[in-house]
Chains A and B, each alone.
Chain A
Amino acid sequence: MALPVLALANVRVGYGGADVLDVPSLEIAEGEVLAVIGPNGSGKSTLLRVAGLLERPTTGRVSFGGCLVDATHALAERRRMAMVFQQPLLADMTVAENVGLGLAFRGVGADPSEARVSRWLERLNIAPLRDRRARTLSGGEAQRVALARALVVEPDLLLLDEPFAGLDAPSREALLPDLAAILRGDRLTTILVSHDRAEAQALADRVAVLIRGRISQLDETARVFYAPVSEEVARFVGVETIVTGRVLARDGGVTVVEVAGRKLEIAARGRPGDLVRLGIRPEDVTLTLPTEHAPLSSARNHLTGTIRHLVPSAPATRVVVDVGFPLVATVTARSAADLGLAEGLPITAVFKASAAHLIGPAGSAGGSPAGLLDTMTAPEL
């Protein structure tokens, strides 16, 4: 494998004795998009500042293109990177002048600069704004300018710090696919920091989950979302139902687990007798009225219970069903209306064997190492 574009080794950042970041190792390969997700205050922005050579870690090494770099003397390396922040602070100039700033810093001449600026204004669909004063732009327009001024320098490493967090929903939904197309089309090596898992799912090849300054999981995007290694990660990536059960039996690829008196069939392997933690994503659970037949469904788990809570919100309504344990499902507002969902209503929750994942080992009630290995193979089933 080629040298990583950026590598962190034993990086620790402490402010006043407390570690806000502790990363033994993190590498980003050429052409990949790595998303660093985590709750607010988990150290994501600190990690990005260290990666961007804007902050020197308390201890540890940062290598860029295979060479050790010290953030205090890293102008040449910084000029091979570009960073976009949550708040696009533009200079009081025109849009085109703002986009050209990075090129001016690098001593690129007026003519080549002009051509590159024009090309990137086009690619970010802001060419008509070129002569506007930057201070008169809307939030979404300003963020596009900030992206253009970073991309125009054609960086070896692009760093994005919550670039969508400050935007209203329509601007965000318009910008996300545009950026995804650019990142994929140009195979730009990118680190994206976000607290929004949907952005990570849309853009990233790999995801690192940062919790309290430590990387809890680093894996391909799908694996992080469908095979979280700990309960904390599971909750952060949107697994809402997390329960403990005991493995009763194994039957081919299916394991029977007893949870609060109900028998669940899951596609992950477990040893009979083991206590395991199970996670189920709410979007994998469908709801039907108990009177209806679901003959076409291949789902193995049909659990009847009563609706405890109903939380309408956009785009989906959250339903908590008591099936012996609280099971969370999301349904569209239309389905909720069609089914006549109401608190106290008897309802059947349905999910496939592959929708339930083992979570382990951290935080699990005695999850065995074998269980962890099984988890890793679960997405294929």
Chain B
Amino acid sequence: MTLLLDGVRAATGLIVSGDSEIWSILWLSLQVSGSATLIALLLGVPAGTALALARFPGRGLVVSAVNSGMGLPPVVVGLFVTILLWRSGPLGALEILYTPAAIVVAQAVIAAPIVTGITLAAVQQVPREFRLQLLALGASRVQMIWVVLREARLPMLAAVMAGFGGVISEIGASMMVGGNIKGQTRTLTTAMVLETSKGNFEAAIALSLLLLVLVFLVNWALTSIQQRRAL
């Protein structure tokens, strides 16, 4: 117990004193996971919308695949992104393995199905009849989709929260494709694993506190938007 309390006290000291390494790790994590979430939104919102509105043979299979993808194990993603980006791999020429860009790619792969799945559900809960009424008011297909997405904006904020929450706390893929290189690809989670394995609990606790606060702040901000608009 004293170990934990001492650890928290020391960690608070580290954070408050503005330990530059801790803050740069935090900043990198934010940038990487933020970019990955953004890419996932750019891919997942159109994909989820299309899946929600289109009817084609095999649609059930694709929806099941997306839903399974929402639980994609990060280590599996890490493995395949590593192979993809390996020097002799298909995208080896990009030479981005063990850079933050590689982590962004892996995390976007993890977050995209989450965003797609939640968008699909959000758009589907807008009644079919509502879409028909928009068309009957003279909406083109694009205008109709725009209004439907606008209607689904509150549940879709959940897509942002789930996507970001999923990748900021993910470790397997970041470790495998980033390599946990000090000052370059060390994120909150990979640093935490390292510090814990070294027995350096103060630093690990400091990092975990930052991660918790970060996740909380992002969700708090999005939730407050969601709840205000819901009233």
Give the B-binding residues of A (Cβ under 8 A).
Answer: 49, 52, 54, 75, 78-79, 81-83, 85, 87, 89, 91-92, 101-102, 104-106, 149-150, 153, 159
Contacts and interface: CB of A to CB of B under 8 A. Distances in A.
B138 A153 contact: yes
A78 B132 contact: no
B229 to A, nearest CB: 8
Interface string B73-116: 00000000000000000000000000000000000000000000
Contact of B137 (A87, A92, A105): A105
A102 B138 contact: yes
A106 B138 CA distance: 7
Contacts of A54: 132, 135-136
Interface in B114-146: 127, 129-130, 132-140, 143
Contacts of A49: 132
A150 B133 CA distance: 10
- Report, as a range, how many residues of chain B touch the other chain: 10 to 19
Contacts of B143: 104-105
B21 interface: no
B139 to A, nearest CB: 5
Contacts of A78: 135-136, 138
Contacts of A104: 143
B59 interface: no
Contacts of B6: none
Identify the 8 closest CB pairs spanning chains A and B, nearest first: A83-B136, A79-B138, A102-B137, A89-B130, A105-B138, A105-B139, A105-B143, A89-B133
Interface of B: 127, 129-130, 132-140, 143, 147, 150-151
A89 B137 contact: no
A85 B129 contact: yes
A52 B136 CA distance: 7
B137 A150 contact: yes
A101 B137 contact: yes
A83 B130 CA distance: 12
Contacts of A87: 129
A306 B136 CA distance: 54
Contacts of A105: 134, 137-140, 143
B129 A89 contact: yes
A26 to B, nearest CB: 19
